């Protein structure tokens, strides 16, 4: 092993919520060949091991147990090009947003709606990130990951990833796999997806291309979402709940302005709208943790409060929404102890 884990490493700057946190042990991984030795090191000491990317979808405990592996594997390589397809192999430590920018500039399309989502490439399959009618699953070819339990490399096709709404096998079997590379398959033929909100205005733009859509997405997100470098946050904190047709009918009787999107399995509610209707946008607790003034779905932590305060506000929002709509919001971030 060419890297040695370090004890008591400060993770306060390694999570976008800026929650004060310390890793019992931490190692930065730049070469995937070091990973098997790190797993053996942790196993020999009876420690759990887990991967940390950009920290954009996490709530960290004050003390994180076990070995934290900060994944910093870089690289963008075009591994296959057909007449109408591009395949890219990406290091798990690459910035997701910069990857979108770079691949669109190379003539790829299919991921332009996913611009400005924070975090790393390796974290993207865990949540099956999505925005404006597009999910990672739409363009993923396969994932390379190390199986901690079986101590071997594995490759996951799109089907093997078991993608769902903000879900995957990597989330279902949390801390079993460490993703080291992701392969995307993009189209060279641009087919815009403009069904969501302000993007619809682009439908009449002459000579529309992926770059145009990406720039529009960036502008929309910048106008609505705070930069975590200036105002600590984890992006959208709650999933948009999917309800049955019967639930939808019952809610519509009481709320004729209900914001919903039809789905194959039911109706998707806008979680931000639900929270907004409860009067929580711009509100916060005594520690400053609260809902962003421009978008109620975003939980902010301006005073860098502890995880306990984040969880208190989460529960407050869930209780308020359930009391008014009988809908339980599910948080998007993972919680590390």
Just list the catalytic residues. 166, 236, 332
CA distance 95 to 223: 21
Inter-CA distances, 103 with 76, 114, 142, Å: 9, 12, 17
Relative to beta strand 22-29, strand 63-71 is parallel
Q: Are 117 and 140 in contact (CB under 8 A)?
A: no
Relative to beta strand 266-269, strand 260-263 is antiparallel
Which is nearest to 19 in space by CA: 27, 9, 11?
11
Q: Which residues pair with 131 in a beta bridge?
A: 134
Which pair of tokens denotes residue 152? 């071997």
CA distance 38 to 52: 14
Inter-CA distances, 48 with 43, 152, 163, 283, 307, Å: 7, 17, 25, 37, 20
Q: Are 240 and 263 in contact (CB under 8 A)?
A: no
Relative to beta strand 177-187, strand 140-147 is antiparallel
Which is nearest to 205 in space by CA: 197, 196, 219, 216?
216
Which pair of tokens denotes residue 93? 């430590």
């Amino acid at each position: 092993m060419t890297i040695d884990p370090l004890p008591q490493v400060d993770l306060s700057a390694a999570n976008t919520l800026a929650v004060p946190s310390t890793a019992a042990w931490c190692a930065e991984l730049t070469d995937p060949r070091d990973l098997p030795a790190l797993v053996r090191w942790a196993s020999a000491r009876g420690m759990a091991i887990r991967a940390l990317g950009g920290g954009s979808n996490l709530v960290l405990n004050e003390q994180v147990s076990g070995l934290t592996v900060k994944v910093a594997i870089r690289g963008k390589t075009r591994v296959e090009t057909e007449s109408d397809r591009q395949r890219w192999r990406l290091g798990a430590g690459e910035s997701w947003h910069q990857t979108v920018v770079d691949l669109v500039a190379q003539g790829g399309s299919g991921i332009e709606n996913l611009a400005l989502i924070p975090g790393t490439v390796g974290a993207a399959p865990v949540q099956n990130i999505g925005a404006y009618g597009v999910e990672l699953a739409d363009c993923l070819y396969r994932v390379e990951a190390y199986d901690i339990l079986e101590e071997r490399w594995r490759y996951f096709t799109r089907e093997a990833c078991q993608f769902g709404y903000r879900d995957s096998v990597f989330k279902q079997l949390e801390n079993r796999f460490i993703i080291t590379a992701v392969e995307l398959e993009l189209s060279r033929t641009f087919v815009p997806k403009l069904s969501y909100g302000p993007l619809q205005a682009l439908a009449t733009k002459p000579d529309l291309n992926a770059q145009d859509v990406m720039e529009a997405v960036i502008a929309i997100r910048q106008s609505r979402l705070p930069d975590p470098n200036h105002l600590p946050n984890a992006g959208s904190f709650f999933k948009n709940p999917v309800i049955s047709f019967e639930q939808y009918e019952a809610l519509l009787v009481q709320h004729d302005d209900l914001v919903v999107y039809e789905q194959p399995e039911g109706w998707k509610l806008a979680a931000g709208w639900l929270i907004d209707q409860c009067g929580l946008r711009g509100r916060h607790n005594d520690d400053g943790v609260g809902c962003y003034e421009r978008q109620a779905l975003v939980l902010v932590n301006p005073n860098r409060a502890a995880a306990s305060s984040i969880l208190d506000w989460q529960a407050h929002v869930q209780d308020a929404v359930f009391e008014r709509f009988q809908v339980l919001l599910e948080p998007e971030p993972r919680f590390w102890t």
